[in-house]
Amino acid sequence: MTTSKLQQPVVRHSPSQGANSPDVWGIYEPDTGSIQYICADPATKKAALIDVVWNLDPKNYRFSTKSMDQVLDLVRQNGLSVAWVLDTHPHADHVMASALLKERTGAPTAIGERAPDIARIWAGLYNLPDAFDPARDFDRLFAAGETFRIGDLDVRVMLSPGHTLGSITYVCGDAAFTHDTLMQPDVGTSRADFPGGTTEELWDSIQAILALPQNTRLFVGHDYGTDRRDAPEWEATVAEHRASNRHVKDRTKREDWIKLRNERDATLALPDRILAALQINLRGGRLPAVQDDGHSYLKIPVNRF
């Protein structure tokens, strides 16, 4: 994905709108343009942490927990308790903090049930046939249509493939966490050119998201800024996307969008963290086993992409 032009972390609260409506905090991570989320039940103060980042410096290959610590500080400041640690897909642009968050909070981790299919693709690309087992490394693999609870709030899982073949959307009342499907309305949509992704499936996933009730708050996975604004944005309603999303507003033709998306994707380089991130994320946010010198090592395919 693109390097963010927005260099400062930003926190923003989207308050509950009433019954069956969560409090949502978005925490912007500027190095990767990622938005991390806290989704909380106002009544019980139970919360889910969604797509939290384990910071990786790709120049020196050193990790820090500054983003995760910021998220957990917000949890404490707002009197919340963590019930779930959730990811929408195995991320290509950042390393997930899920395993560390489970250690810190005791909350179970979850991702979509097609993560093993993604793992098989990347096991072949890394030539690591036995490295990845999402069923072992996540506590729950959610199926399409499955439901669970955050406190008294019901959450429904939507399968939303296209960006990856196993991406999922979490719909909690009037909030939907749509990951790498939509961008903000002034930007458009996300890429679909990673192994296992397709523009055709991404179109269908976006249309299913835009069929949610008009007042649904859609929380996207990334923002990199635009020439017209100098602050990150990550929330807009279904109605706002249908009225003004520059790629997929109402009356956009499927074939026109697929052509636009494919042409755009053909110009994009790999994210600078992808080859490290995926072999960690497909282990649930864990480094490979430590070797006899006390260090972990990553395997990088050469001339493969």
68 belongs to a structural domain: yes
Work out the mean pLDDT of the chain and round it to a whole number: 96
Q: Which residues on neighbouring strands pair with residue 236, listed in sequence order?
A: 218
Residue range(s) defining the domain that contains residue 25? 10-222+232-281
Residue 172, both tokens: 């909690």
For residue 227, name the pLDDT band (cuts at 50, 70, 90): confident
C-alpha closest to that of 69 among 142, 9, 121: 9
For residue 230, name the pLDDT band (cuts at 50, 70, 90): confident
Whether pTM exceeds 0.85? yes
Whether residue 255 has pLDDT greater than 90: yes
pLDDT for the residue 1: 42
| pLDDT tens per residue, range 69-89 | 999 999 999 999 999 999 999
Query: CA of 158: how far to CAs of 102, 204, 232, in Å?
Result: 24, 12, 26
290 belongs to a structural domain: no
pLDDT for the residue 5: 54
pLDDT for the residue 135: 97
58 belongs to a structural domain: yes
- Computed from CA positions of residues 41, 221, 301, 59, in that sequence, does the dihedral angle turn out positive or negative? negative
CATH of the domain at 186: 3.60.15.10
Q: Which of 95-99, 159-163, 300-304 is predicted with the least confidence, judged by mean pLDDT? A: 300-304
Interval 275-280 mean pLDDT: 97
| pLDDT tens per residue, range 106-162 | 999 999 999 999 999 999 999 999 999 999 999 999 999 999 999 999 999 999 999
| 7: Cα within 13 Å, side-chain hemisphere | 0
293 belongs to a structural domain: no
101 belongs to a structural domain: yes
